[in-house]
Structure formats: C-alpha cells, structure tokens
Amino acid sequence: MDYKRILTIQDISCFGQCSLTVALPILSACGVETVILPSAVLSTHTGGFTGFTFRDLSDDIPKIAAHWKSEGIDFDAIYTGYLGSIKQIDMVTDIFNTLSRPDCIKIVDPAMADNGKLYYGFDQAYADAMTRLCREADLVLPNITEACFMTGVEYKESYDESYVKEVLSALEDAGMPNVVLTGVSYNDETTGVIVKKGDRLDYYTHRKMPIGSHGTGDIFASAFSGALLRGNSELDAARIAANYTLRCIENSQGDESHRYGAKFETAIPYLIEELNK
C-alpha cells in the first residue's frame, strides 16, 4: 500500500467528538499521513451547547499555506469539513490550486446543515459559496439538507426514489457529477448512502438506529476519505465508512451522559479490520 498524505481542513471543537478531533485519529488509523489545517477553535461544537467560545483562524490559514508551499509540501488528497466563513471557502479554493499533487483527490463535505436547517451562523450566501467550492471538488459528500440548500430543490422529510434522483440531477447541473449522498432513507428500518459517479448510481443500506449522534457526518467523511486513499472504490469506501459509523452509534446507545457525540474510538479496531479484509 502506498503511503498517502492527506490534508484535512476543518475546525477544532475541543469537546464533542467532531471535526478535527474525529478526522485526525480516524485518518491516521487508516494508515494515511494526516496533516491538519484548523479553520477555527471552539470550546465545544454548536449542537446542544450554549455559551461556547469561538476563535476564527482565518488570518492564519494563508500564512500556513504559504509556508507549506515554500517548503514544497503538497498532498495526495485534500478533504474539507466545517469552514467558518465565505472568506475561508475562498482560501480553500486557493489551497486546492496551489498545494495539490498532480493526481490529488479533492473531497468536500459541505458541513453546514441538517434536518432542513442551516447550522448556527450560516445563511444562503454561505451555501452559495459552498456550491462554488464543491464545483472544484472531485467528490462531494452532502446530506440531503445540504444538497437542497446548494441546488434550490425543496427540502422534504419524507421522499421517494424519484425525489432523490431529482436532488442528484440538480447537484450535477450545479457542477457536481460525483456525489456521495448520505442519510438516504425510504423507510423507518433502513438508511444508507447513494454513490453517484457520473451516470452510475449505487445505493448501500444498513440498519437505521432510533437515536443518532452528533458528529456522525464527520466520522463518515473521515472514514470514507481514509478508505478511498487505501485504494478502495468509492462504493466500497462508502460501505466501509457507513458500517463503521453505524458501529460508532451502536457503541454509544444507552449512555444518556454521552448524547453530545459518538464513541468512535471504541470502534476503531473494527474499522481497521474492515480495511484489512
């Protein structure tokens, strides 16, 4: 296996098991050299916490990138998660253009919305800027809410296969032909991911848990990126990441004191076992 180097750009939520505190250990467990570029530092994530601190690191990002360029540091893959502002989205576009190796895989998780609503501090202008960034990516990993905000398709809580195809078609029209659409569920028993690569659609399903956890999108995106760099196809990487995410949620069920995140660390041995099959 080649030793790949990935850059992941997202925030550090010091408490709450999401973003870089998830991405760094999961990507490292996948056997990938992982370089981080924090977009912000928060005391906790924004889901369910109040009074959290937030330090914007926008001023540091161009300086870090410039230093890496001067040192000849570049990447086999760049994977972005939560970005704090439109300004940072523009910075990431520049990093895509200046720090990528010739066959660099650019993966964007447009982490900005869920359950029909944008996250705290974001608006439609941010969603529009994220759409522009996603056009620069090789793979985009939105949930249905994020896909709707980027395309203008009406968000629906209940939907059928024709609706999902409409969403995917709208994403392609917006410049995103290769998509891993997460959280696609047509019934109460199962959920899954749709992998769209050009004209091909594949749907992988697994058991739906009655209670979810914060940070599972970051868990999935990190495991997907790591599995992809291990040489797996997009569909196999999505399958590995989905199964791992499910295991993380399962390991967190029944612990009412741990509703702020998923116990992803406890399932890392399972992820490594799946990657080595």
Amino acid at 207: R
Kindly report, residue by residue over 11-60, the tens digit of the pLDDT.
Answer: 999 999 999 999 999 999 999 999 999 999 999 988 888 899 999 999 99
Q: Which of left, alpha, beta for 175 (phi over 0: left; psi -120 to 50: alpha)?
A: left
pLDDT at 1 over 70: no
Query: Domains of the chain: which residue ranges?
Result: 5-275
pLDDT band at 208 (very low <50, low <70, confident <90, very high): confident
pLDDT of 259: 81
pLDDT of 209: 79
pLDDT of 2: 84
pLDDT of 182: 97
pLDDT at 81 over 70: yes
**String of DSSP letters for 28-43:** HHTT-EEEEEEEEEEE
Kindly report, residue by residue over 130-176, the tens digit of the pLDDT.
Answer: 999 999 999 999 999 999 999 999 999 999 999 999 999 999 999 99
Kindly report, residue by residue over 94-137, the tens digit of the pLDDT.
Answer: 999 999 999 999 999 999 999 999 998 899 999 999 999 999 99
pLDDT at 212 over 80: no
pTM higher than 0.85, yes or no? yes
Q: Reply yes or no on domain 5-275 having CATH 3.30.1960.10.
A: no
What percent of the chain stands above pLDDT 90? 87
Q: Identify the residue with better confidence: 186 or 253.
A: 186
In the three-class reduction of DSSP (H, G, I as helix; E, B as strand; rest coil), residue 213 is classed as coil
Q: Exposure string (b/e) for 84-105, b if CB count within 10 Å is 16 or more? A: bbbebbebbbebbeebbeeebb
Average pLDDT, the chain: 95
Pairwise CA distance, residues 178 & 180, whole Å: 7
pLDDT of 121: 86
pLDDT band at 257 (very low <50, low <70, confident <90, very high): confident
